[in-house]
Amino acid sequence: METTASELRELGRDLVAASYLKGDFVLRSGKRSNRYFDKFLFETDPALLRRLGRHLAQLIPPQTQRLAAPELGAVLLGGAVSMETGLPLVLVRKEPKGYGTSKQIEGRFEPGERITVVEDVVTTGGDSLRSAQVLRDAGVAVIHLVVVLDRGEGGEENIRAADIPYTPLFRIADLELD
């Protein structure tokens, strides 16, 4: 099902209503910001998560063989997109776990597979690039990165500089913020 402009505008409004906070925040990048999107507020709302999964699924390139989602923030999104597309999913840990299998990538994959990474919010892109490098080091081809929200603070440029095609569902400039 193709997304209409009005559906996307409505989703953007609902995303803002659910997760946009004003105040004084330190971002993962270490930067301070007076605005913050709490990804857990939009990812733990089942109706919003379902809609985000459906819309993100439309951004997945057809040659994708598997999805990847970095822990912890993008795991639910990756699951929603996986269920929407039928594509299998791997999870990328920040660090290899120190017990059991000691894996940094959870789930089945084969070297050479074409993987699209699903992300939540990108600021500078550092965490996305770290996850992409873990996947590349494991021998898979990271062919695309899709994200719910690009904050417009250099992430897109950094991700493209790493030779990863990039598509945000929303850029901060697309959203109606008060």
CATH class for the region spanning 5-174: alpha beta
Instruction: Count CB-CB contacts under 10 A for residue 71.
Output: 16
Over residues 148-174, the mean pLDDT reads 95
Q: For residue 55, give every residue at least 6 positions away whose Cβ sits within 8 Å of its Cβ, in sequence order, or none.
A: 3, 7, 8, 11, 169
**Contact by Cβ (8 Å): 128, 117:** yes
Residue 154 has pLDDT above 80, yes or no: yes
pLDDT recorded at residue 96: 79
Residue 100 has pLDDT above 90, yes or no: no
pLDDT recorded at residue 28: 76
**Higher pLDDT pick, 54 / 95:** 54
Locate the domains of the chain by residue range.
5-174
The pLDDT confidence band at residue 1, using thresholds 50, 70 and 90, is low
H/E element holding 119? strand 114-122
The pLDDT confidence band at residue 3, using thresholds 50, 70 and 90, is low
Q: For residue 79, give every residue at least 6 positions away whose Cβ sits within 8 Å of its Cβ, in sequence order, or none.
A: 53, 69, 89
pLDDT recorded at residue 5: 86
Over residues 60-73, the mean pLDDT reads 96
Instruction: Count CB-CB contacts under 10 A for residue 174.
Output: 14
Over residues 43-62, the mean pLDDT reads 96
Over residues 91-117, the mean pLDDT reads 90
Instruction: Give the whole-angstrom CA distance, residue 126 versus residue 155.
Output: 8
pLDDT recorded at residue 2: 64
